[in-house]
Amino acid sequence: MGGTAAAKGQYPLEYAAASTLAAILNYPLWRASALGQSGFRVAAVSSSSALPASLLPYVFAFSPPYKGMFATVLGMSWARAAIFYGSDRGKILLESYGFSPTVSIVFPPLIVSTLVQIINMPLVRATVSLQNPESDVPNIRESFRRIYGNHGVSGLWHGTSAGILKSVPKYCTAIFAKDYIEGIMPPIDPDSSTRKRDELLQSAIKASAAGVAGAALTNPLDVIRNEMFKTNLGFLDSCRSLREELGYRFLIRGMSKNLIAVSLPVASTIFFTDAFISRGTE
């Protein structure tokens, strides 16, 4: 992601630090997105009673208690670091074996993000479930216990199908957009007095495009996955329930929040990684 092609994928600590920083900064936006896509109701309190209903999820998301915050940040941090680092390292490896640029770009995030989604699913379900304002579950440990007690071990991985269908295309699209834009941008003169600024500007452009592309594509599957968490219905039954309740408007439920909550963490992870690698190669 940052610097020259030879430098890509050579800085695992920078990937981890960038992913962690992005997860911490974007945690409240993730909460707002989880509320919107799950259809959780946020009741107005006296201090926010004058606010429009559309703003209540943001008030709740930025307000304590932050249930499951540490687990959520940890889960998002390692997941994005693994996906972006694994994708960049995988691209280098496949290119070294003579695979085409398209194969080298698409297959690493496809494989890595699928594995990450499967491993991370119990944590994702437990943390999303915690965000329901009407829930009496106090913490992540109790959330795991409640899911396991009600639905068994398989309940911890309920929603994996929608999660894979949502996350894998998102990261494949984001990484493809990032690498494509990176490839068509004009080269930066290494002797330019504004080289560092120009590198960060190009990083911001490709990061923004990657984040928006990935978020817009996968919003419907976020909605379906969160509905599966909320109701414990299967994939097709969740689709049917959403369509009966909202019509095909369910495809865009929470879209505005998702565009922010998904695109910003992806974009900031890419940008922070470039910035950290750039500082490390000075």
DSSP class of 7: G
Per-residue pLDDT band for 130 (boundaries 50, 70, 90) equals confident
- Indicate the number of domains in the chain: 1
Distances in Å between the Cα of 84 and the Cα atoms of 109, 141, 198, 226, 244 are 7, 29, 22, 24, 38
Instruction: List the Cα angle 54/137/146 in 5-degree steps.
Output: 125
| pLDDT 10s digits, 1-39 | 444 444 556 789 999 999 999 999 989 888 887 877 777
Distance between CA atoms of residues 14 and 279, nearest Å: 10
Question: What CATH number does the domain containing 135 carry?
Answer: 1.50.40.10
Distance between CA atoms of residues 170 and 180, nearest Å: 15
| pLDDT 10s digits, 66-98 | 888 999 999 999 999 999 999 999 999 999 999
Range of the domain at 218: 5-280
Distance between CA atoms of residues 25 and 21, nearest Å: 6
Instruction: Give me the mean pLDDT over the 133-162 stretch.
Output: 90
Is there a contact between 72 and 143 (Cβ–Cβ < 8 Å)?
no
3-class SS of residue 184: helix
The tally of CA atoms less than 13 A away on the side-chain side of residue 50 is 1
Distance between CA atoms of residues 78 and 85, nearest Å: 10
| pLDDT 10s digits, 153-198 | 999 998 888 788 778 888 888 988 888 898 888 888 888 888 888 8
Q: What is the pTM of this model?
A: 0.80
Per-residue pLDDT band for 134 (boundaries 50, 70, 90) equals confident
Is there a contact between 83 and 113 (Cβ–Cβ < 8 Å)?
yes
Peptide bond preceding 65: is omega within 30 degrees of 0, i.e. cis? yes
Helix (H) / strand (E) containing 226: helix 195-231
